[in-house]
Amino acid sequence: MRLTRREVLRFSGLGALVITFLPRVAFAARNSLQSIRTGVQPGNKTRLVIETALRPSYTLEYSENQMIVNIANMTTDDAVAAKLASDALVKSVNQIQNGDKLTLVVNLKKTIAPLNKNQIMVLEPNGDNDYRLVFDFAAGTLGKASTTQTQLTAITPAKKHVIIIDAGHGGKDPGCIGKGGTREKDVVLATAKKLKNKLDAAGFKTYMTRSNDSYLKLAERAELAEKHKGDLFISLHANANPSRSVKGFSIYTLSEKASDEEAQKLADAENAADKIDVSGFEQFSKDIRVALSSLQQHAVAEMSEEYASSCCQSLKRASVDQQPGPDVRHAPFAVLRSTVPGALIELGHLSNAKEEKLLKSSDHQNKLVNAIVKSIKNYNFEV
C-alpha cells in the first residue's frame, strides 16, 4: 500500500505506518524533460514526442479529451515550451510537478482511438536526439480500453494538490505599516491573489483564507486549511523592524520553541493579531489542535521544514534579498498550528524604505510569486 504523506497523517494512529517517516533514500539520477513536440504522420496520425535526458519510466492514462503521461523521477524548474503542429490532435500540454514525478496533461482536440502497444515507443538516443517517448494516435472512438495492456490504465484524473494561501491580517487589523503608509494587509493580499492565479494555472487547487479586506482569526485560517484538506499552507506577511536598515525576506515554520529571540518576537507580533478580537483570543488559548499526536506533529514539522528550505533557496535564486540569519527559522505561530504542513513567509520589510516600494510594485510581487510557485512545484507531495 502506498500512501501519500497526507494520508499517512490521517492514519498516523496506526503504529505500523511509522516507517513512512524514515528519511527518504537517495534518488537515482534525475531525469529531465528536453522537449515536447507533435507532428502529423501518414494516415492523419498525430505523433507526440516527449524527449528526455534518461530512459523514461512512465505511465499513460487517457480519456476522451486528455492523455496523462506521468514520468517518474523528473523535476523541472521551468516548463518546457511544447512545439505543437497546428493540424495535429494536441491542443495544449500542461506540465505539473507531482512530487518526484512530472505529469504531462495532454489536452486533445478530438477523441482518440485506443492506443495499441505498437503505437507507443521509447526510442534510443541518436544524432541530436535524446531518449524519445513516442505516442502515435488518431481520432476515433475510445471504446473500452483494453485491460491486457499493462501500461495503459483507465483514466483517473491526476490528483490536484491543494494549496491554502493565507494573506496575513486584514479588515480591522492592518498588520505593519510602512513609513510611506503601505499596509501589510494590502500588499500581502495583492501578492496572494497573484500566487493563486499562477498556482491555478500550474494545475494546483487553491483556496485563499481571505480574498478581500476582511478580518479572520488565526485559528479560523488554520481551520480552513484543515477543512479544505490542504497539502500545503502558505501564509504571506511583511515584516517591520525598529531599525529601518534591516531588510530581506525570512521564512518560518511552526515550533513550540522559537529558534531565536527575534523569531519569538515576530511570532508574538503576528499572534497578537488575535488580541484585537478579545473573545477570539480566549478561544485561541484552548485551541484543540495542540492535541495533535506527537507523530503527526513530527511529520508536519518535517514536511514544513523541507518546504521552507526549498522556498528559501528558490527566493535566493531569484535574487530576492534575504534577511541575515538562518535559512529557516522556527517560532510558535498560531496560524501554522494544524495538520497541514506549511510555512509563514515574511516577504520583506515595510519598515525599510526601499523594500516598502518594492513590496508595493507589481513586478516585485510577481518575482516573489514566481519563486514561491517554483518551490511549490518542487515540493515532494508524496513519499
Q: Note whether 348 binds Zn ion by CB under 5 A.
A: no
Provide, rounded to whole angstroms, the least separation between the CB of residue 344 and Zn ion. Answer: 8
> Minimum Å distance from CB 175 to Zn ion?
4
Which position among 194, 237, 247, 337 is part of the footprint of Zn ion (CB under 5 A)? 237
- Given the rule CB under 5 A, which of 26-34, 37-45, 81-89, 162-170 is the region that contacts Zn ion? 162-170
CB of residue 244 to Zn ion, shortest distance in Å? 18
Tell me which stretch binds Zn ion (CB under 5 A): 8-16, 101-109, 120-128, 173-181.
173-181
Measured from the CB atom, the residue of 89 and 273 that comes closer to Zn ion is: 273
What's the min distance (Å) between Cβ of 182 and Zn ion? 13
d(CA 70, CA 29): 17
Q: Is 175 in the site for Zn ion (CB under 5 A)?
A: yes
Binding flags for Zn ion, 73-112, as an x/- string (CB under 5 A)? ----------------------------------------
Cβ contacts of residue 10 below 8 Å, gap of 6+? Answer: none
The distance between the two most distant Cα atoms of the chain, rounded to a whole number of Å, is: 73
Q: Is 349 in the site for Zn ion (CB under 5 A)?
A: no
Order of strands, sheet of 90-98, starting from the edge strand that comes earlier in the sequence: 90-98, 101-108, 66-71, 58-62, 152-153
Confirm or reject binding of residue 194 to Zn ion (CB under 5 A): no
Based on CB atoms, which residue is closest to Zn ion, 247 or 377?
A: 247
The nearer residue to Zn ion, 31 or 239, going by C-beta atoms, is 239
With CB under 5 A as the contact rule, which of the stretches 85-93, 137-145, 229-237, 307-315 interacts with Zn ion? 229-237
Cα–Cα distance list, 26 to 73, 284, 348, 374, 383 (Å): 12, 41, 34, 22, 12
Compare residues 56 and 168 and give the one whose CB is closer to Zn ion: 168
| 7 vs 39: CA distance, rounded Å | 41
Please tell me whether residue 168 binds Zn ion under the rule CB under 5 A. Answer: yes
Q: Which residues of this protein are in contact with Zn ion, per CB under 5 A? A: 168, 175, 237, 270
